């Protein structure tokens, strides 16, 4: 989906412009495909960006910095589970909010850099710093409310593939009531004191 939306935002259309999309594996495999010439382009996670330069590859566009409404990092469950196990979902969201507060706390930068290096297999502190900066700037939010425009963009794109999804609305797929409750109660702000 990221590459389709990115291409569209750049004024390209896979059908009109004869762009063939293929599933080409993980970032290391896609980087190898670019380097060998078997792939003309791909989407690469930011933490792998430093591996591009030694291969002579260029960044055509940074999707994170483009004004593309999109939603990432959702907690997803069925409406039935949410209604029947609301306390479980609320506890899970609290745990995720506590994790966000930990990540966003500058005092925790050092152990997070080590974690990023270890878990992502990053070779240098510079790579880990880049991954950390991207994470706190683009992906980890203090108050992660569902993003209405982002969800509507996803619905529109999915609707092209599965026409029955095209009639969905924000309220059909998002329920911000738990995050609203935690925000209004002061719980979220309390994590940052």
Q: Do 153 and 70 contact (CB within 8 A), yes or no?
A: yes
pLDDT(102) > 90:
yes
Max distance between CA atoms of the chain, in angstroms, equals 55
Question: Beta-carbon neighbour count of residue 40 at 10 Å?
Answer: 9
Q: Do 39 and 24 contact (CB within 8 A), yes or no?
A: yes
Question: pLDDT digits over 166-185, tens only?
Answer: 999 999 999 999 999 999 99
Quote the pLDDT of residue 180.
97
- Residue among 13, 12, 35 nearest 24 (CA): 35
Backbone angles phi, psi at 174, to 5 degrees: -130, 140
Quote the pLDDT of residue 92.
96
In the DSSP assignment, the letter for residue 65 is G
Question: pLDDT digits over 66-96, tens only?
Answer: 877 777 778 899 999 999 999 999 999 999 9
Question: Beta-carbon neighbour count of residue 63 at 10 Å?
Answer: 16
Quote the pLDDT of residue 4.
80
Angle (nearest 5°) at CA 67 between 133 and 52: 50
- The structure tokens listed for 173 are 């797929």
Quote the pLDDT of residue 61.
84
CA dihedral of residues 164, 169, 173, 174 (deg, nearest 10): 170
CA-to-CA separations, 20 to 8, 23, 56, 62, in angstroms, rounded: 14, 10, 23, 21
């Amino acid at each position: 989906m990221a590459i389709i939306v990115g291409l569209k935002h750049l004024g390209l259309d896979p059908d009109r412009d004869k762009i063939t999309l293929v599933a080409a594996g993980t970032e290391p495999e896609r980087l190898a495909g670019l380097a060998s010439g078997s792939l003309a382009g791909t989407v690469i996670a930011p933490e792998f960006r430093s591996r591009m330069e030694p291969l002579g590859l260029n960044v055509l566009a940074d999707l994170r910095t483009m004004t593309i409404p999109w939603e990432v990092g959702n907690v997803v469950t069925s409406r039935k589970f949410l209604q029947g196990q609301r306390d479980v979902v609320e506890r899970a969201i609290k745990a995720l909010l506590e994790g966000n507060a930990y990540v966003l706390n500058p005092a925790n930068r050092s152990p997070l850099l080590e974690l990023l290096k270890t878990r992502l297999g990053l070779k240098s502190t510079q790579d880990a710093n880049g991954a950390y900066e991207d994470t706190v700037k683009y992906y980890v939010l203090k108050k992660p409310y569902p993003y209405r425009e982002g969800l509507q963009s996803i619905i529109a794109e999915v609707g092209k593939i599965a026409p029955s999804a095209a009639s969905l609305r924000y309220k059909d797929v998002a329920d911000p009531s738990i995050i609203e409750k935690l925000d209004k109660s002061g719980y979220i702000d309390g994590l940052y004191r």
